[in-house]
Amino acid sequence: MAPKKRITMHDHAAEASLFKRRALFTFACVVILLGILLTNLYHLQILSYTDYETRSNDNRIRVVPVAPSRGLIFDRHGKLLAENQPFFSLELIPEKVKDVPAVLAELSTLIPLSADEQEDFQKSLKYHRRFKPLTLKNRLSESEVALFSVNRHRFPGISVVAGLKRHYPYNGMMTHALGYVGRINDRDRAALQRNDLWKNYAATKYIGKQGIEKFYENLLHGQPGHLEEEVNNRGRTIRTLKSVPPVPGQDIYLTLDLQLQEKAVELLNGRRGSVVAIDPRDGGILAMVSSPTYDPNLFVHGISTKAYNELLNSRSRPLINRATQGQYAPASTVKPHIALLGLEDKTITEKTRVWDPGFWQIPGVERKYRDWKRWGHGWVDVNSALVGSCDTYFYELAYKTGVDKIANFMQPFGFGERTGVDIFEESAGIMPSKDWKRMRYNQPWYIGDTISVGIGQGYWTTTPLQLANAAAIMANKGKRFVPHLLKSIKDSTAKINSPVDEMAPIELKDPKNWEIINNAMRDTAHKKRFKDATYTAAMKTGTAQVINVAADAKYDADNIDEHLRDNALVIAYAPFENPKVVLAVVLENAGWGGANAGPVARALLDEYMLRDSWESIQ
């Protein structure tokens, strides 16, 4: 019996429905993928057109930065203190020189090339593109430039290139105020990158390292320009498409008086010390001298290791700006301020008298604090104590006042704080107090510490700038300005004066106390150093001990090392009626203040005060 045939029934409606679903799914996928494609095309062609066009142009257009010329620096009278001088360097394009060692050997017969220069060049050549110029020798002399120019045909691929370098025409005279520029190093580069300034220095090799050059770097540097060059796929320049010139740095004028600065340098004559002169009417610094000094031009192209080590290891410490970083005991130069506190605090009056037998003792203590005059001054009041610089008077005054009152009173005069002068190299000095000693040494404060502070010794230290600033406040009867070096700024259109930063004045309970102290300083000047002066002046000298001397011992400068001898100090101002110049002079290990620093102050005030009369005669 034959098997039965199986009959399959087709559900056409179900098949049609399945096909329809599959077709719709496939169509949806096609639509989605097409949408994605169109979206990407829109993003590439419309939204990101500018970005990709720039990337494409960068493949054929190279932007080459052009360094700006650095702004010049002048003194208050327009005399040039820092300039840009042309210099010449020798550059070689490697691909145009077939045998570099042979050419260098031949070139050295014309222009001396040291072994170090040739070795450095060979090292740089390994990582340098052969079509780009590479510096072979910096700072060619005029004779070397002339000699190479005559023989240039013998050296294809080598050329002389001109540039600008910073130059300080007065060498070391202004070093510690102006500072200097030097090559940008890794630390400078990191600082510029942190502050998002590196793009502005892409073509610049030098940056301010110290002083005014560093503080006003943003003004002096300028804005770079650029060249747009068409290049091939190997980076070789085909043509220049566009040139945007750089914006030069702004010229700045300082408050410094070159003539007064020159006189101060001449008077110090290389001795260790400092001179600071301030115009008390606005806080402008007229002179800032630190001695000994060094030539900042050595640092412009890079100082040799040997020369730098000599400066760094010198016992005279020429790298230190003594005017703002040197810390000295102020000694008797702060007695006027101590006396002013005594009057203001009513610890003393103008007529208070103290007997000086040549020493002073803390009640109940055997130790004697000696006066500088071993037989004493006899009866003294505030005026005669300042004129005679009587230590005994100020021992007692400090004992009665206390160190914390002294510290609090001195703070507005700027002691123990940075003045805010517009250079970064500044120390705060020390204005001691009970809390300061506890924090610094974890020791209690003793009465003997207060006695030393009363004559500007002990833990109290100050910089010459702080001393001049405090003297200016005294001369101004409480009017205060932030000491500054910048006078005005000049760009391509105008010269703009820098604003003067005036601080809140020191107001006394009894303004007459200003007159009492300033009159005593005037009497000091005209009974001593300024007897024959044709102008009125005021002054106070000081002699600061560098080492302690036993109570019963006698100080003998001839029998101790020179660097352990006393420092000589003086503060002075003129004219007395309307001060226009205030001085602070510090001479390290020079001995007696009046005999050694006094003549420097007199000569400087003569230079400044008598200048107009001498010029009118001539």
CB neighbours (10 Å) of residue 458?
19
Q: Which of 617, 570, 616, 576 is nearest to 264 (CA)?
A: 570
Residue 176 counted as an annotated binding residue: no
DSSP H or E stretch at residue 465: helix 464-475
Residue 391 counted as an annotated binding residue: no
- Give, in degrees to the nearest 5, the angle at Cα 81 between 76 and 84: 135
Q: Which of 502, 534, 547, 554 is nearest to 602 (CA)?
A: 534
Contacting residues for 541 by C-beta, under 8 A, at least 6 apart: 332, 333, 389, 524, 568, 569, 570, 593, 594, 597, 598
- Given the structure tokens 């006042």, which residue do they identify? 401
3-state secondary structure of 606: helix
Residue 356 counted as an annotated binding residue: yes
Contacting residues for 9 by C-beta, under 8 A, at least 6 apart: none
What is the greatest pairwise CA distance in the chain? 161
Q: Which of 214, 238, 243 is nearest to 227 (CA)?
A: 243
Angstrom CA distances, 365 to 26, 87, 361, 447, stand at: 110, 71, 6, 11
3-state secondary structure of 169: coil
Quote the DSSP letter at residue 85.
E
For this structure, is 332 an active site residue? yes
Q: Which of 323, 267, 262, 316 is nearest to 290 (CA)?
A: 323
Give CA–CA dist 334/338, Å, rounded: 6
Contact yes or no for 239/60 (Cβ under 8 A)? no
Give CA–CA dist 381/390, Å, rounded: 10
H helical segments located in 140-270: 142-150, 175-178, 186-194, 211-215, 217-221, 258-268
Which residue is catalytic, options 89, 274, 332, 452?
Answer: 332
Task: Give φ, ψ of 358 to 5 degrees.
Answer: 110, 0
Give CA–CA dist 568/541, Å, rounded: 8
- Give, in degrees to the nearest 5, the angle at Cα 570 between 568 and 572: 165
CA atoms within 13 A on the CB side of 355: 2
- Given the structure tokens 């200003």, which residue do they identify? 514
Give CA–CA dist 521/474, Å, rounded: 10
Binding residues for Zn(2+): 356, 371, 377, 390
* Enzyme catalytic residues: 332
Binding residues: 356, 371, 377, 390
